[in-house]
């Protein structure tokens, strides 16, 4: 329709100016392209001295690993390089990079003096010979070299794709070891790529489902420390935790922060019935948000804090619902076959990720906030518990394998459904919670 109108418009234009009709530019429309990883090259960053050599190499590798890990980029290996980059300030020999089809090029330099590490870099669009964005320098301490590499990679990624950054972020998760019937669980935190794992609890009590605060400084999680599942609030910097008070004789679990970080929404089971409650973290006072005989759990706020999406079996099987953040009438949004659970609102606000169970398989999927355009991204024996990358482009989740020797592991997948890949952790892993981009 639009095309026809365009044609008519062109036609009219031609009629109006017949003489120039043929001398205007040739106009074409392209609506089909290709989808493939963008080939890029990261020649080793130039070290300013022996002390910087290893850092330069390591930083370059982490940048490459971040970029290729997105599935959106493909590294051109150094073996293919025609040019060597021996000086950060020397002009880039674009033809050499064009020749090997490097469409993006990242050049950089690393400087180390004492414990201080400085990284400079530039991003180039090889075929136009243009710099993408401006050169940038990061400075910090040498033990923060990985973070600096992630920062650089974030810049490169954002400048080329237009997508928000996410490499310089951390993930809280439950580290799991041992067989299914004697599984030991410890709360842990790591870089998004599985590096720098640190444990926050021991395995004396079952711990479940850590959830990052919006600013990344605190974690909510559920622990059986007292014998009953209870919600704890943990200061990540100090590794200090406190139990959040809920009524005696109840179980509380499945907590999540509000976007302002001042309150939490959670599930409370009382007399076998599970409803949603909200607690003000300053006063520790709770109010009830739902009051039905059905199970209501797995709540997650919209990014603007005005709504909550959750799971309820009020229809007879678990489905997804949205209600005002203050409680009130809920609208069902999932209508497909199967059982839906653990909805999580994307940081961009446009999608809801969820777990779906159907015909003996589990899926991670996304749908619009009105339930439209449901897309399943994965399928396996058991996938569950999606969490969004800070930019809303990637989803991390738990995949458990079948049988007596089954293990759980973390996986990530692009919201296009491509680039499914395992996230390496020292032991098994479950219940990931992706924290915000770090400052």
Partner 1 sequence: MNLLSKIAAAGALTLIAACSNNDPSALGGAGGAGANGTLVPGSPSDPRSPAYFQQTVGDRVLFAVNQSTLSPQAQTVLQGQADWLLANPDFVATIEGHADEQGTREYNLALGARRANAAREYLISRGVAGNRLTTVSYGKERPIEICSTEECYSKNRRAVTVLTGSTLG
Partner 2 sequence: MDTGTKISAIAHVSLIGWALFGGTFRSEPLPMAVQDISVVSAEQFAAMTAQRNAPEVPADPADLQPPAEPDEVETPAPTAEQPPESEPVAQPEPEPEPEIEPEAVEIAPEPELIEQPPTLEEPEVAALPVPPGPEAEPSPADKIAPEQIAPPPPEAKPDDIETPPVSLEDGAETQQEQQDQTAPEEAAPEIVTEAEEVDDPAPRTSPRPRVRPNRPAPPPEPEVAETPEPAPSEPAQSEQAINDALAEALGNGTEPSGPPLTSGEKDAMRVAVSRCWNVGSLSTDALQTVVVVGFSLTPDGKVVGGSLRMLDSSGGTSASAKQAYEAARRAVLRCGAKGYDLPADKYSQWQDIEITFNPERMRIK
**Segment 295-324, which members bind partner 2 (CB under 8 A)?**
none
Is residue 74 involved in binding partner 2 (CB under 8 A)? yes
Would you say 200 or 279 has its CB closer to partner 2? 200
What whole-number distance in Å separates Cα of residue 334 and Cα of residue 313?
Answer: 12
Report the Cα 3 to chain-centroid distance in Å: 38
CB of 207 to partner 2, least distance (A): 12
Residue 200 touching partner 2 (CB under 8 A): yes
Residue among 113, 139, 243, 287 that touches partner 2 (CB under 8 A): 139
Q: Return d(Cα 332, Cα 31) in angstroms, integer.
A: 36
Q: Is 119:138 a contact under the CB 8 Å cutoff?
A: yes
3-state secondary structure of 13: helix
Q: Residue 268 and residue 261: Cα distance in Å, rounded?
A: 20
Q: Please give the Cα distance from 317 to 311 (Å, whole number).
A: 10
Query: Is the Cβ of residue 5 or residue 404 nearer to partner 1 in the bound state?
Result: 404
Of residues 19 and 248, the one with the C-beta less far from partner 1: 248
Q: Could you say whether residue 114 binds partner 2 (CB under 8 A)?
A: no
365 contacts partner 2 (rule: CB under 8 A): yes
Kind of pairing, strands 230-235 and 421-423?
unpaired
Calculated CA dihedral for residues 87, 141, 186, 415, nearest 10 degrees: -40
Q: How far apart are CA 406 and CA 295, in angstroms?
A: 28
Residue 181 binding target from partner 2, partner 1, none, CB below 5 to 8 Å by type: partner 1
Which tokens is 324 given?
């005002």
Query: Rounded to the nearest whole angstrom, what is the least distance from the CB of residue 200 to partner 1 in the complex?
Result: 18
Residue ranges with strand state E in 213-262 = 218-223, 230-235, 240-243, 251-257
Structure tokens at 245: 């008070």
Residue 3 binds partner 2 (CB under 8 A): yes
224 touches 206 (CB < 8 A) = yes
Which residue is listed with tokens 């499914």? 420
CB of 288 to partner 2, least distance (A): 31
**Does the footprint of partner 2 cover residue 22 (CB under 8 A)?**
yes
Asked if 128 is part of the footprint of partner 2 (rule: CB under 8 A), the reply reads: yes
Interaction residues for partner 2, span 231-290 (CB under 8 A): 237-240
Contact call for residue 293 and partner 2 (CB under 8 A):
no
Point out which span in 52-60, 251-259, 290-298, 373-381 binds partner 2 (CB under 8 A).
373-381
Between CA 309 and CA 298 the distance in angstroms is: 8
Can you say whether the dihedral through the CA atoms of 145, 151, 156, 157 is positive or negative? positive
Q: Which chain residues interact with partner 1 by CB under 8 A?
A: 179-181, 183, 204-206, 208-209, 224-229, 249, 251, 253-254, 267, 269, 271-274, 295, 297-298, 311, 313, 317-318, 339, 341-342, 355, 357, 360, 381-382, 384-385, 400, 402-404, 406, 431
Q: Which is nearer to partner 1, 69 or 343 (CB)?
A: 343
Rama region for 267: left / alpha / beta (φ>0; ψ in -120 to 50; rest):
beta
**Does 14 participate in binding partner 2 (rule CB under 8 A)?**
yes
Residue 84, contacted partner among partner 2, partner 1, none, CB below 5-8 A by kind = none
Q: In the structure encoding, which two tokens stand for residue 353, read together?
A: 């990720």
Is there binding between residue 211 and partner 2 (CB under 8 A)?
no
Tell whether residue 403 is a contact of partner 2 (CB under 8 A).
no
> Of 44-52, 100-108, 259-267, 269-277, which part binds partner 2 (CB under 8 A)?
100-108
């Amino acid at each position: 329709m639009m095309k026809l109108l365009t044609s008519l418009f062109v036609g009219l234009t031609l009629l109006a100016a017949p003489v120039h009709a043929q001398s205007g530019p040739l106009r074409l429309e392209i609506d089909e392209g290709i989808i493939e990883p963008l080939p890029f090259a990261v020649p080793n960053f130039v070290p300013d001295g022996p002390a910087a050599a290893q850092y330069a190499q390591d930083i370059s590798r982490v940048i490459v690993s971040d970029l290729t890990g997105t599935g959106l980029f493909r590294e051109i290996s150094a073996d293919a390089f025609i040019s060597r980059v021996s000086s950060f300030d020397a002009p880039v020999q674009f033809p050499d990079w064009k020749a090997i089809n490097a469409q993006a090029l990242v050049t950089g330099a690393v400087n180390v003096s004492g414990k201080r590490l400085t990284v400079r870099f530039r991003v180039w669009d090889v075929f136009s010979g243009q710099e993408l964005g401006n050169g940038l320098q990061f400075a910090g301490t040498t033990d923060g070299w990985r973070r600096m590499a992630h920062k650089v990679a974030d810049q490169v990624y954002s400048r080329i794709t237009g997508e928000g950054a996410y490499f310089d972020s951390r993930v809280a998760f439950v580290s799991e070891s041992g067989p299914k019937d004697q599984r030991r669980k410890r709360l842990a935190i790591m870089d998004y790529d599985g590096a720098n794992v640190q444990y926050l609890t021991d395995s004396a009590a079952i711990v479940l489902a850590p959830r990052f605060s919006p600013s990344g400084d605190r974690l909510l999680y559920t622990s059986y420390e007292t014998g009953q599942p209870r919600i704890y609030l943990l200061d990540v910097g100090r590794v200090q935790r406190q139990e959040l008070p809920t009524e005696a004789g109840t179980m509380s679990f499945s907590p999540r922060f509000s976007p302002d970080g001042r309150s939490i929404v959670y599930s409370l089971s009382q007399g076998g019935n599970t409803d949603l409650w909200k607690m003000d973290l300053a006063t520790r006072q709770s109010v009830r948000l739902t009051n039905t005989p059905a199970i209501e759990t797995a709540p997650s706020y919209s990014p603007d804090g005005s709504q909550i999406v959750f799971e309820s079996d009020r229809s007879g099987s678990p489905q997804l619902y949205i209600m005002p953040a203050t409680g009130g009438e809920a609208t069902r949004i999932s209508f497909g076959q199967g059982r839906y659970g653990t909805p999580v609102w994307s940081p961009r606000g446009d999608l809801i990720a969820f777990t779906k169970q159907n015909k003996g398989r589990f899926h991670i999927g996304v749908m619009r906030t009105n339930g439209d355009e449901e897309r399943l991204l994965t399928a396996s024996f058991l996938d569950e518990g999606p969490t969004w990358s800070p930019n809303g482009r990637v989803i991390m989740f738990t995949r458990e394998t079948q049988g007596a020797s089954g293990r759980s592991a973390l996986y990530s997948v692009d919201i296009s459904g491509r680039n499914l890949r395992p996230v390496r952790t020292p032991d098994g892993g479950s219940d990931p919670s992706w924290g915000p981009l770090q400052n």
